[in-house]
A = this chain, B = another copy of it.
Amino acid sequence: MPRTQQGLETWQAFTNAHGLLVATIERDLAAAGLPPLSWYEVLTALARADEAQLRIHALAQAVVLSPSGLSRLLDRMERAGVIRRESCKRDRRGAFAVITDEGHALLERMEPVHQQAIEQHFVPQLRDEESALQAALVRVADSARGECPADDEPGV
């Protein structure tokens, strides 16, 4: 089998696995009456952050969403009371997103549903080469990010 061919097949297996597992998580969350995966991603990113807050620009990277897409998502989450916007004193162009107490409570309800799907469908199938895979995935992300940040990049 030519190497090019296998690369494409592996990529297809990759997107296929991703799509199916994400669909499973979304379905499980919806079945539990919980909001979609994107909310979980924002909430964990904020919960992990230093002061439970994160610049909106930084968040957009974590969720792989356009700035405007994130802005709308934060609108909905703020309306639901799980995050709050706060202006940045140092640089008044920037804004912070802050997770609220309600946000923490919601996160705790979403966490087990999310985790259950990962532990059932993802971790066991990968265990043998999990560390190697993780390292490889980070390399892929770094490589893709290297050409992604700007629109038309000048010289990388």
Contact = CB atoms under 8 A, between A and B. Distances in A.
Contacts of A138: 13, 17
Interface in A88-133: 115, 118-126, 128-133
A125 B152 contact: no
Given A9-B134, A10-B137, A21 B144 contact: yes
Interface of A: 3-4, 6-11, 13-24, 27, 31, 64, 115, 118-126, 128-134, 136-141, 143-145, 147-148, 152
Contacts of A4: 115, 119
A19 B64 contact: yes
Nearest to A10: B134
Nearest to A124: B143
A113 to B, nearest CB: 11
A24 B144 contact: yes
B23 A148 contact: yes
Contact of A11 (B118, B124, B145, B152): B118
Given A19-B64, A148-B27, A121 B137 contact: no
Given A16-B137, A129-B133, 19 more contacts: A6-B131, A7-B123, A10-B130, A10-B134, A11-B122, A15-B18, A17-B140, A17-B144, A18-B18, A20-B141, A20-B144, A20-B145, A21-B144, A121-B143, A121-B144, A122-B140, A124-B143, A125-B140, A133-B133
